[in-house]
Amino acid sequence: MASNPDAPTDSQALDQHRSGRRRSWWLNRRLWLGVILSIVCLALAVADIDFDAMVAALRSANLAWVALAAGLAVATGLAKGWRWRLLLYPSLPAASSPPGKGTDRISLPRLTNIWMAGAGVNLALPLPRVGDVLRVYLAGEAGKARVLGTIAAEKLLDLVMLALCFLGLLLFVAMPQELAQRQLSTVGVAALLTVAVIVVLWQRQRVLALANALLQRTPAGERAAASMEKALQGLDALRQPGPLLAVSLLTVLVGLLSVATTYLIFLALDMPPSWVQSVLLWVVLQVGVSVPSTPGKIGVFQVLCQWTLGLFGVSATLGLAFGVLLYVAVPLTLMVLGALALAIEGWRSGRRPADLNLALRPATLPQDPAAGQGN
């Protein structure tokens, strides 16, 4: 068959793909809005700041506590990777399984590595849940719909933990109006989603039959119904007492490690440590940073730290220093580890970074307030 001399070569097609990608990034309105928001937040953060006092506070900080806080942030990621594997594989492979059946599961180290890559991307890019899309792509060998179901279960567990912390804070702190409004919505959404998941798991077959009847009337309805059934398999761990207890305990452990990370920054700056302030700051960061905003959450993160600590009489200067150290210990650490994890996954699969970029397109996933620190 004669070839078309006007057809582009492989190298030309790749160059066209790369140039189109560059134009799409430059023309991305969400990215530029995030950059503008980052500049505005940084301006607010440094307003009325005594820079000499802030530099003195940072220089006098005990870096050993900061390093320990970064270590706890990594431990939190390991706990989340462990929890994700329990959600994906709630039961042990049958002992009678033939060779190659039930033993080809994704290993815990690799799932943890994939979680780190997704968390780093979520923090770095001002796009909604793009890191979760990357996780579905990288762990797709377990079934993309099923992986998506486990991520939804993960978000529900984090949301319930956040709601419980909100309710617990009522015993110790008078919530400011701005936070009280989010408190009501967070607790309400967590309760509604929990009830909805309980109903779906209880009446799973009926829900699937109803969805199948409705989807059959639409194009590709059979495929959509099959994907929905596989996605519900990602919730299987919530139906079994043993796995449910395990993932619940790991969710509590994740919360405790995250709060302890914040607590260590108080010690690093020789500030009076407070568990109540640590819990409130963690909650505010989860709620405030979960919405896609600035690249790397720069500016927004520091402003939220200033505002929260200011409720307890901490100066704006010291609050900004606190935000800088906590940012280094958690988001920056996770973004660096996420970049390394993404490079490892690219090397493991033999994919070029341009190929992995196909997974970084915005997708519609449920927003969760529990993504803030990336913990």
Convert the pLDDT of each residue in 51-106 to its tens digit.
788 889 889 999 999 999 999 999 999 999 999 999 999 886 654 445 444 457 88
7: enclosing H helix or E strand? none
182: enclosing H helix or E strand? helix 177-202
Burial (0-12, 13-18, 19+ Cβ within 10 Å), 113: buried
313: enclosing H helix or E strand? none
State the helix-helix crossing angle for 333-349 and 130-138, rounded to 10 degrees.
30
The residues near 259 (Cβ < 8 Å, ≥ 6 apart) are 275, 278, 279, 282
Using pLDDT thresholds of 50, 70 and 90, give the confidence band for residue 300. confident
Q: DSSP code of 352? A: -
Give the C-alpha separation, 12 to 305, whole Å: 48
| Cα 31 → chain centroid | 18
Using pLDDT thresholds of 50, 70 and 90, give the confidence band for residue 234. confident
Q: Hey, where are the domains in the chain?
A: 49-90+106-371
Using pLDDT thresholds of 50, 70 and 90, give the confidence band for residue 7. very low
Tokens representing 172? 């110790």
Average confidence (pLDDT) over 270-294: 84
Q: What number of other Cβ atoms are within 10 A of residue 273's Cβ?
A: 14
Task: Kindly give the residue spans of alpha helices, DSSP state H, lying in 47-170.
Answer: 51-59, 63-88, 108-124, 130-138, 144-169
Q: Tens digits of per-residue pLDDT, 180-199?
A: 777 778 888 888 988 988 88
Give the C-alpha separation, 281 to 375, whole Å: 13
On whether the CB atoms of residues 69 and 265 are closer than 8 A, the answer is yes
> What is the average pLDDT value for the chain, to the nearest integer?
80
Phi, psi dihedrals of residue 370, rounded to the nearest 5° = -100, 30
Least confident of 167-181, 296-310, 342-356: 342-356
State the helix-helix crossing angle for 316-327 and 63-88, rounded to 10 degrees.
50
